[in-house]
Amino acid sequence: MTLSQKYHLLISLLFLLASPLVQAKPNGEQLYTTHCSACHGANGHGGVGVPLALPDFQYGVTNDYLKKTIRHGRPGRIMPAFRSLKESEVKAIIRHIRSWAPGKPFKYSNKKIKGNIKHGKQLFTKNCVACHGANGKGGEGTGVTFSRPRNLPVIAPALNNSGFLASAPDLMIKTVLMNGRDGTPMVSFLKHGLSEKDIDDVVSYIRSFEKKVVSKKAKETVNPLISYESPYPLKETLASIEKAIIGKNFRIIRQQYLNQGLVEKGKENKKQVVVYFCNFNFLNRALAIDPRVGLFLPCRITAIEKNGKVTVSSTNPLYMSRFFNNAKLDILCEELHQVYVDIVEESTF
């Protein structure tokens, strides 16, 4: 290929990248597969995410609700906010989601419902708390677990979640309360004895959660690493690490060299050692909260000797936890962070 041909190829590729044809027609199915299918299922049948293909869901939510849900996510409830997607990409994803259910979805105006909040609270406590939790905090568990038997198609949504409140208009909430949602445990409260006026009161109470939503805390600076220097030689440090791990009620899985499995047996770097450990009860709890926690697994601490100095380091669960947008997991990660700090501190003290 001549220099001139290479130049033309470069220009063509850059032109292609900037071409409106490439950018104007995003492929909704492809985008859905990349960004959504892992949680919502290839055909929208749900998993950790709600079953988007459910006919009652399809007819009951507007495109605006879907768009806002994609943009805002559900802070602390796994569904992330997809802020980096282009407007045209969000629309393409919605078109793809809509392809599963023929027919038109409901349309709601943004009219505010003015009911009696106090009465709504009483009704909510009596009829809704069992599934949606006190103050609308949502069903226990932040999703249906991936790797365990599933009992319900959905976990009751957190009605006090800022993402939900920003996405759902009053009339949509009212319609769901009146009609229920087939295929989920949500029943029609008209059929369960509430009047339309009662339902308006419940909607107003749910809307009042908006005033209580705590603004999202600014992300504190968290170091991705927990790292200490050990005053002891490597062998002694490793013995102390193991002792500290057992003291924390964790089990040693194995000790291995950092490059083990990558180099010929016997040629490993003996000054770089990883200690893997686990507490299966803790792990079981973590998997029930979020089955994606494999990224933390197994627990590990690495000790490296370099120029006579031994450094003990581990990942920081508090840093990793942010990737999951799962408030329940954050609590467990605080616990795990403390375990790591204690082990590293004890073994280097």
Partner 1 sequence: MIKIIAGLVLSLLIVTSQAEELMMARTEQSFPEAMSKLQETILDLGYKVSRIQRIDIGLTKSGYETDKYRILFFSTEKEIAEISKKYPHLVPYIPWKIAIFAEQQDTLLVSADPMQFTDKKYPGADKYLLKWKKDTQKIMQILRQSE
Map the footprint of partner 1 across residues 24-43, applying CB under 8 A.
Answer: 33-35, 37-39, 41-42
What letter represents residue 102's amino acid?
P
What is the side-by-side order of every strand in the sheet holding 299-306? 225-230, 309-315, 299-306, 272-278, 251-257
Q: Is the CA virtual torsion 51, 57, 59, 65 positive or negative? A: negative
Q: Is residue 91 at the binding interface for partner 1, with CB under 8 A as the rule?
A: no
Stretch of 95-103, 187-195, 209-217, 224-232 contacting partner 1, by CB under 8 A: 224-232
DSSP state of 104: P
Map the footprint of partner 1 across residues 128-157, applying CB under 8 A.
Answer: 146-149
Per-residue contact flags (x/-) with partner 1 for residues 41 to 60, judged by CB under 8 A: xx----x-------------
* One-letter-per-residue 3-state SS of 180-208: CCCCCCCCCCCCCCCCHHHHHHHHHHHHH
Which residue lies nearer to partner 1 by CB, 115 or 317? 317
Cα first-last separation, the chain: 64
**Phi and psi torsions of 225, nearest 5°:** -130, 145
* Helix/strand/coil for 229: strand
Q: Is the CA virtual torsion 173, 177, 179, 185 positive or negative? A: positive
Map the footprint of partner 1 across residues 277-336, applying CB under 8 A.
Answer: 278, 280-281, 283-284, 287, 291-292, 294-295, 297-298, 300-302, 304, 306, 311, 313-315, 320, 322-324
How far apart, in whole angstroms, are the C-alpha atoms of residue 39 and residue 143? Answer: 9
Stretch of 8-16, 101-109, 112-120, 133-141 contacting partner 1, by CB under 8 A: 8-16
* Helix/strand/coil for 223: coil
Q: Is residue 253 at the binding interface for partner 1, with CB under 8 A as the rule?
A: yes
Which residue lies nearer to partner 1 by CB, 10 or 331? 10
Q: Are 246 and 311 in contact (CB under 8 A)?
A: no
CB hemisphere CA count around 69 (13 angstroms): 19
Stretch of 79-87, 95-103, 168-176, 195-203 contacting partner 1, by CB under 8 A: 79-87
- What are the counts of helices (DSSP H) followed by strands (DSSP E) for the chain? 16, 5
Q: Which of 129, 134, 152, 225 binds partner 1 (CB under 8 A)?
A: 225
Which residue lies nearer to partner 1 by CB, 59 or 276? 276
Map the footprint of partner 1 across residues 98-117, applying CB under 8 A.
Answer: none
Q: Is residue 262 at the binding interface for partner 1, with CB under 8 A as the rule?
A: yes
Stretch of 10-18, 107-115, 202-210, 235-243 contacting partner 1, by CB under 8 A: 10-18
Query: What is the binding site for partner 1 (CB under 8 A)?
Result: 1, 6, 9-10, 13-14, 17, 33-35, 37-39, 41-42, 47, 80, 82-84, 146-149, 224-225, 227, 253, 256, 258-263, 269, 272, 276, 278, 280-281, 283-284, 287, 291-292, 294-295, 297-298, 300-302, 304, 306, 311, 313-315, 320, 322-324
